[in-house]
Structure 1
């Protein structure tokens, strides 16, 4: 049985500075919201991103996909759903769905892939504490 993926939802209100002259959210801001989503997912898992950096590792984005579906607008409340994709093995992948507050409108879907690098900028394998976290997420998903 395939484990249920772990998803964390973060609420965000669109501020005026997020919009362009057409009154819709500027496209690059969705990537910022992806970052908010994955950061809050890490925090939810008990591993704030700062703790990863404290261990001498960083997770730069190596690939991103963002599919724009319906624009969000000033003062909308959006929900950033970030899911840890436990099937991706080379680093980490997070999948995203950004919706309206009530979930009736999907604004954006996408993913980010991340490599692990050390302080010298060298790509390294996912460390044991991250592999254990992914295994725990998989176990939790099977138990639900």
Structure 2
């Protein structure tokens, strides 16, 4: 199952060359990820935190394909690429809205932890959430 998030590139996100600064893409991936969590897992990330679950990033990768510029309308397409009960990997494709040209793609990997940042098996601490993720993975 794919989640889509719409973004319009802001002037403050550009660099001296007039293109979107490379560091902004991880922020845009985060928008996609939080939308994916809300839509596919059935609750906003803030509720997961209230329930004692954290999801720190342990890896990120961005492949820059073509430049985005100020006021470009972009779509972040987010899917769950892998899930093993403790770690989850999200895959992202960032495309221009008008022509679907690929701007960037990448992944982020995260680990479910408790509030002390100790890894947890989601099946044991949040069986309902575990089941929703497994279902979302099967539907892809």
| 71, 78, 83: which one aligns with 1:75 | 71
> 1:10-49 counterparts in 2 under 5 A?
10-45=5-40, 46-49=42-45
1:84 is displaced (CA, Å) by 1.4
Change in CA separation of 1:103 and 1:114 when aligned onto 2, cut-off 3 Å: farther
Gaps (5+ residues) in structure 1? 1-5
1:93 is aligned to 89
- Maintained 8 Å contact 2:80/2:137: no
1:130 is displaced (CA, Å) by 2.7
2:136 is aligned to 137
**Matches of 2:133 and 2:44 in 1, distance apart?**
15
1:103 is displaced (CA, Å) by 4.4
2:104 is aligned to 108
Q: How many correspondences in the alignment?
A: 135
2:57 is aligned to 61
1:51 is displaced (CA, Å) by 1.2
1:137 is displaced (CA, Å) by 1.6
**Matches of 1:59 and 1:100 in 2, distance apart?**
28
1:128 is aligned to 127
Gaps (5+ residues) in structure 2? none
1:138 is displaced (CA, Å) by 4.0
